[in-house]
Structure 1
Amino acid sequence: MTSDISTLANWIHTSPSTVFFGGAGVSTESGIPDFRGANGFYFQERTIPLEQVLSIDFFSVHPEAYWEWFREVHKPVEPNGAHRALAALESDGLLDCVITQNIDGLHQRAGSNQVWELHGNWEHLLCTACGAGYPLSAIPEAFEELVPTCPRCHGQLRPDIVMYGEALNEEVISGAVQAIAQADLLIVAGTSLVVYPAAGLLNYFSGSHLVLMNATPTNADADADADLIIRDPVAQSFEAVMKELS
């Protein structure tokens, strides 16, 4: 691992443009289960499958199912070493941006400013009637009532996330594509790269070095194209990288 960490630290230090692309595995060390891991949300036994709970068609008719799941899994968590390292790299001018599939908002809480959230952020709510937006912290009813409502018009609130059956935000996709296309070093971490269209963003990369940081193999094309593969936990690896850089 030491040799791989040294190589990655050197690439980060010398790269003219570095972009980070992360998935659920970035936040597991903060205590948030991933979706498709052995103990992930996707494989938990539920009366209503989670993929159905998180679909826009089902949510439109049965929003209470989402809020029941949300209150079950939304726990106090803190950014881990990976989130903090990425924020520090951006502050030091060594990282252009973070592209994330996660909806937990931990990158921003750690101090990252340039974050492209492909699937939105459940810490932000939108009114389905008037379109007003609210931070989750401003709506205590989200943790108490069956379905929270808008303080302004009393319309139904929804999480500002991309549900199954909804298209990704075009502005976010455009920003992520541009960042990846311009990157010289692309670090992909905590994702199996099987969920599209997000996984397809790697097709826009034509830089010098592709680094994969994931506990298990990703899709065959990505593993074959990678210049460096690290199987250790993401936070642990980034903490080691920061020590090398210091």
Structure 2
Amino acid sequence: MNTDILKKLIGDSGNIVFFGGAGVSTESDIPDFRSSTGLYNSKENFRYPPEKMLSHSFFVSHTGEFYDFYRNRMIYREAKPNNAHYALARLEEEGKLKAVITQNVDGLHQMAGSREVLELHGSVHRNYCMKCHKFYGLDYIMNSTDIPRCECGGLIKPDVVLYEEGLDMEMLNKAISYIKNADMMIVGGTSLTVYPAAGLIQYYMGNKLVLINSSETPYDRSADLVINGKIGEILKQILE
């Protein structure tokens, strides 16, 4: 069984890094983007393609419509951590997992107890005024009507990386450092098609690269172990 192999690899490792994508949160009922049931394949009749509505230029030119879409389709306040989040938090508590590197913006890793979480694409829980840089939490965004404004009058922007925006280089370099030093890398819940984040896997130099995903990825042939399935179910099994 592949899960038995995974369990042994984890047992033999002491410097594990996890890199995850939207598939980590689908078991918490947060839709992913590119699967058949994902946001980009939604049957809803959006006025614009979701990719356009989540772009920097759309945020600037259609701010009200951006926030309508953002509040309704990007925020899932009732979502709770699933087995994958809790398993990773436990591995960190045991001293085996050194960092979670995530493309998700939902904050579920921290809610499950993970401490070293590198959020490559930011977080819906952080928002800031583009004029005076004052911080605002998620409640302020959700309770605002139309376009959220700062008390100084400035426009408030979610601290999430939109299309056309670059990743935070300090965060990216920190992720690369963790990966380079890892003796095991677990990649889960990501199609590994979104760059530059997907390119991080190339910095891993060890011989324990594990890919866990519901479907094939472009890096399957490079992996030392590939497991297809729901990541929460798989990680729960190896910790039982």
Give the TM-score normalised by the residue count of structure 1. 0.93
1:30 counterpart residue number? 28
After TM superposition, give the deviation of residue 25 of structure 1 in Å. 0.3
Q: Which amino acid aligns with 2:62?
A: H
1:123 counterpart residue number? 125
After TM superposition, give the deviation of residue 173 of structure 1 in Å. 0.1
1:195 counterpart residue number? 194
State which of 46, 70, 87 in structure 2 corresponds to 1:85.
Answer: 87
1:239 counterpart residue number? 236
Separation (CA, whole Å) in 1 of partners of 2:71 and 2:51: 17
2:64 counterpart residue number? 64
After TM superposition, give the deviation of residue 112 of structure 1 in Å. 0.5
1:103 counterpart residue number? 105
Deviations 1:37-96 (A, max 9, x none): 111111224211111111111101211122111221323110000001101110110101
Equivalenced residues, count: 236
After TM superposition, give the deviation of residue 150 of structure 1 in Å. 1.6
Separation (CA, whole Å) in 2 of partners of 1:240 and 1:161: 33
Give matches, 1:138-177, under 5 Å.
139=140, 141-151=141-151, 153-177=152-176
Does the aligned pair in 2 maintain the 1:149–1:157 contact within 8 Å?
yes
Separation (CA, whole Å) in 2 of partners of 1:155 and 1:173: 28
Aligned to 1:129, the other structure's residue is in SS state coil
Runs of 4+ in 1 over 4 A off after TM superposition: none
Deviations 1:175-228 (A, max 9, x none): 110011111110000001011000111110101211000111001xx1111111
Q: Which amino acid aligns with 1:130?
A: C
Separation (CA, whole Å) in 2 of partners of 1:135 and 1:95: 29
Aligned to 1:19, the other structure's residue is in SS state strand
Does the aligned pair in 2 maintain the 1:213–1:232 contact within 8 Å?
yes
In the alignment, structure 2 segments of 5+ residues that lack a partner are none
In the alignment, structure 1 segments of 5+ residues that lack a partner are none
Separation (CA, whole Å) in 2 of partners of 1:40 and 1:143: 26
Does the aligned pair in 2 maintain the 1:22–1:190 contact within 8 Å?
yes
After TM superposition, give the deviation of residue 142 of structure 1 in Å. 2.8
Does the aligned pair in 2 maintain the 1:71–1:143 contact within 8 Å?
no
Q: Identity across aligned pairs (percent)?
A: 44
Separation (CA, whole Å) in 2 of partners of 1:164 and 1:146: 22
- Between 1:196-205 and 1:38-47, the stretch displaced more is 38-47
2:55 counterpart residue number? 55
- Between 1:231-240 and 1:142-151, the stretch displaced more is 142-151
Separation (CA, whole Å) in 1 of partners of 2:212 and 2:69: 29
Separation (CA, whole Å) in 2 of partners of 1:58 and 1:72: 16
2:210 counterpart residue number? 211
Does the aligned pair in 1 maintain the 2:58–2:66 contact within 8 Å?
no
Give the TM-score normalised by the residue count of structure 2. 0.95
